[in-house]
Amino acid sequence: MPSLLEKRPSIQLVCIGPIIDLYGRFVVEKLARLMEMYPDRVFSKPEFTVLPSYLFSGADLAPISSHDELFGLVAVKFGRKGALGWFPIESNSMTHMLSQLSKTIKLALKSTEEERAILRARSAVQHFPVVEWCQRMEDMHRRSINVSRRLAVSNAWRESDCGVGPTQVMVEANNWNPVN
């Protein structure tokens, strides 16, 4: 990082997130030193925190490791604002992770302002398809239950197995509502 900060005076580095292992403690120490060297350009807060909205919209690159951000909610937030982000973690080796991060940053820095503007424009109209996702999950669950019942035949669940009163049948609904 110091070499990038030296070569490119317009770069700012903001690192936010909790310490989860010894590597994280090591990084916190390195970032503390970088904050002393570049007080107006490097910021570190090694804890869970709410990120301000201007951080999402002002970032050109948000390298978020898939090692600790498996589902990618933070990456989705940054991506919706057009920030390049997320780099894959394929090993637990610190050397390998640093290599991946370095490659990701170098590729992002090679992108043009026009390319980043296109990404921002696309992200403004794209949304995660929550309704479609819920419908597909419901369909998958329904099919799994039906297959399980078909395979279990006489060993399938019966109401009498529970020793309680009759169960309530769920009504099929095309417009699923999580509140009801």
State the burial class of residue 177 (Cβ atoms within 10 Å of its Cβ: 0-12, 13-18, 19+). exposed
Using an 8 Å Cβ cutoff, are 20 and 68 in contact? yes
For 60-76, what is each residue's pLDDT tens digit? 777 776 555 555 666 66
Q: Which stretches within 59-160 are classed as H helix? A: 73-80, 94-110, 113-125, 130-152
d(CA 15, CA 97): 16
Higher pLDDT among residues 130 and 37, named by residue? 37
Higher pLDDT among residues 44 and 59, named by residue? 44
For 75-128, what is each residue's pLDDT tens digit? 667 766 667 666 666 666 778 777 877 787 888 888 888 887 887 777 767 666
d(CA 38, CA 5): 8
First to last CA, the chain: 51
Using an 8 Å Cβ cutoff, are 47 and 20 in contact? no
R_g (Cα) of the chain, nearest Å = 24
- pTM equals 0.57
d(CA 122, CA 116): 10
Using an 8 Å Cβ cutoff, are 66 and 76 in contact? no
142 Cβ neighbours under 8 A, 6+ residues apart: none
**Percent of the chain predicted with pLDDT > 70:** 68
What domains are there in the chain, each with its CATH number? 2-125 (3.40.50), 129-158+170-180 (no CATH)
* Band of residue 180 on the pLDDT scale cut at 50, 70, 90: very low
Which of 41-45, 106-110, 130-134, 160-164 shows the lowest mean pLDDT across its residues? 160-164
For 25-46, what is each residue's pLDDT tens digit? 888 898 899 999 999 999 988 8
